[in-house]
A and B are shown apart, each in its own frame.
Chain A
């Protein structure tokens, strides 16, 4: 039964500290692993221009066609082959074409920064022509060079940043699955440069960027040259990582591990290191309120997923309202069952009281009783018959047939009753364990279901 899943998470049997939290952890880890495995192939996938055509991104295909047209043979090397003075012209032309292709309407600040970087790098680079494409992500040109050298495919060198760095970023926390995130790319670029500059605050967001990198870079390149002055302003703003930006970004992207630690309180109150970093999605508002609301909504939907697993028959249901309806029905039914059972217990057993009193007169014996289940259980079940209504009487009858420890008559009987009860309960609980249950069913008269 699924509840066992929850119970087994608990190492000690004392309570269920946070069963679904551990499941959270598992889920989150699974997600993280998934993310990690997803992103790396994505990035490597774009390594070759030829492969880029396979992507459905029109941008990519257009870019590749553009690249291949003005320059000769090998697309991968084509850009690299551009000579010095002609390079800027060609690249500007390409960028212009890209701009026409790119239909994304937002004027994101990233373009500013990219534009800034682009200019920087174009001026500085001679041999590494493809670094122009890499500029949005690598603001320090020297760093670009180093990265260029590392990657044979210059154009997509961005995606790797630097190979040793890349897996590191993969390992770092990733929260939202890859979808186009303009702001993410922006902050990613900034983060990367900040990272280079030994700022570790945006680490978690960096990894997140990589997913958006492939599609992001192209559109970044488009916008680069257009909003240079804005870019400068924004760049400084972001590069400083003012607290305001931190807060804006902080709410959004959950690094999953962070969220599991710092859940509801984390949004605005925590010190900078513990901020929850969130990325605004593409085409969405970026003010802090809507972002915070998005975070809240995502949290809610996550928890609803857990509830889906818990409530029987909710697998196919989607949507909050219907799910809530099911949950309400389920909780109501459980509560009604409790009421019904308590009523049943109240009516069924008038003599229960006395026995229970005797039962619990010795707590120690109760614990021992659990160990003596087998011995006492069999004869007890053998004696279930239409005897006297009085449970006590029947227990007396049974008690005489049973071997017992040194307890006097009444308490002996009650101890055995307690044994039986415990065994019954245990059997009921042990239904899932199968074989042991059947082993103790001596006479098989007792039918206990869960």
Chain B
């Protein structure tokens, strides 16, 4: 569809911009470095196309900005969105590790207090069946996994986590498509 392709084009453009910058700065890079640079610019391009409205996009930018090496690239791709950048930078700061840690800590305290109450309740009432508790444990484990997968997911509760996952999946798919097309194109161009 038109909107899909235009989004992908934007992404491609930004990505190529990032790549260009990377390549102009360092002429001889090892393959690993190149890979990292490619991936990084792809991620940043994705985040910027998403306009930083989602948690994961901001988290991507935040994690990238923490590494000083990426500053130039960051500036290049994201600096062009000046207004958004300000908002993004604010959000980036807000989502930075300290606040995330605080959120997590506060949630843990809350959960601990709830757990105490629950213990009291459960001591009175009948415990749920073992299958139920097993299922709960499974779900918990997997949500934890998912939180690790989705960028910026650690500090989110289950509901917003699922929303973010939805969004992230869609955009990740778009990113994969663009990258794949580019890979194929360059394959053809090289005459393989």
* Interface status of B66 (Cβ within 8 A of chain A): no
A residues near B158, Cβ cutoff 8 Å: 296, 300
Complexed CA–CA distance, A424 and B186 (Å): 10
Q: Are B9 and A422 in contact (CB under 8 A)?
A: yes
* Interface status of B111 (Cβ within 8 A of chain A): no
With contacts A7-B1, A420-B185, A429-B177 taken as known, whether A331 is within 8 angstroms of B149 at the C-beta atoms is yes
Nearest-CB residue, chain A, relative to B184: A448
Q: Are A391 and B176 in contact (CB under 8 A)?
A: no
Contact of A425 among B12, B32, B142, B189 (CB under 8 A): B12
Complexed CA–CA distance, A339 and B32 (Å): 11
Complexed CA–CA distance, A10 and B181 (Å): 23
A residues near B68, Cβ cutoff 8 Å: none
* Interface status of A396 (Cβ within 8 A of chain B): no
Q: Are B167 and A20 in contact (CB under 8 A)?
A: yes
Contact of A353 among B8, B23, B165 (CB under 8 A): B23
* Interface status of B71 (Cβ within 8 A of chain A): no
Query: Which secondary structure characterizes the binding site on chain A?
Result: helix
With contacts A346-B34, A391-B189, A432-B1 taken as known, whether A324 is within 8 angstroms of B139 at the C-beta atoms is yes
Complexed CA–CA distance, A102 and B156 (Å): 46
A residues near B24, Cβ cutoff 8 Å: 353, 357
* Shortest CB distance B94–A (Å): 17
A residues near B167, Cβ cutoff 8 Å: 16, 19-20
Segment with Cβ contacts to B, from A53-61, A241-249, A305-313? A305-313
Total interface residues in chain A, CB < 8 Å? 81
Q: Are A356 and B185 in contact (CB under 8 A)?
A: no
Q: Are A264 and B159 in contact (CB under 8 A)?
A: yes
* Shortest CB distance A437–B (Å): 12
Contact of A8 among B1, B6, B182, B186 (CB under 8 A): B1
* Interface status of B128 (Cβ within 8 A of chain A): no
Q: Are B159 and A446 in contact (CB under 8 A)?
A: no
Contact with B along A323-367 (1 / 0, CB 8 A): 011011011101101110111111111001110110110000010
Listed by A's residue number, 12 A-B pairs whose Cβ atoms lie within 8 Å are A8-B1, A10-B3, A296-B159, A327-B146, A337-B176, A342-B35, A349-B189, A353-B20, A357-B23, A425-B185, A448-B184, A450-B177
Q: Which residues does A use to contact B, with CB under 8 Å?
A: 3-4, 6-8, 10, 12-17, 19-20, 263-264, 296, 299-300, 303-304, 306-307, 310-311, 319-321, 324-325, 327-328, 330-332, 334-335, 337-339, 341-349, 352-354, 356-357, 359-360, 366, 370, 384-389, 391, 394-395, 417, 420-422, 424-426, 428-430, 432, 446, 448, 450
In the A-B complex, the 10 residue pairs with the closest CB atoms: A353-B23, A346-B34, A428-B181, A13-B6, A7-B4, A324-B142, A424-B185, A429-B5, A341-B179, A342-B39
Further contacts, 19 of them, CB under 8 A, given A311-B169, A342-B38, A360-B17:
A13-B6, A15-B50, A16-B170, A20-B167, A307-B162, A327-B165, A334-B172, A338-B42, A346-B31, A346-B32, A346-B34, A348-B190, A349-B190, A353-B24, A357-B24, A359-B16, A360-B13, A366-B13, A429-B9
